[in-house]
Amino acid sequence: MESKSYIRASELAEILGISVSRAYRIVHDLNEELASSGYLVVSGRIPKKYFEERWYSGVEIKR
């Protein structure tokens, strides 16, 4: 089975046990961080590696 490089908001909601609308907000915030650093982003998806680094590093998402 091929490993996915992106996580969709719906998958993120399932992983974190949150609503899909909340997951879209998290994806949006993380994509804004990436875009401000000069990266291209895909709406509604976040690179899996970036999510794992940001979420599991103990750094909270600032609002």
Element (H, E) at 27: helix 20-36
User: Residue 17: how many CB atoms within 10 A of its CB?
Assistant: 6
User: Residue 20: how many CB atoms within 10 A of its CB?
Assistant: 14
pLDDT digits (tens), the chain, 63 positions: 456 899 999 999 998 999 999 999 999 999 999 999 999 999 999 999 999 888 865 555 554
| 15 vs 54: CA distance, rounded Å | 15
What pTM value is reported for the model?
0.78
Domain boundaries, the chain: 22-56
Counting other chains too, the contacts that 30-39 makes at CB distance below 8 Å and 24 or more residues apart are: 30/54, 30/61
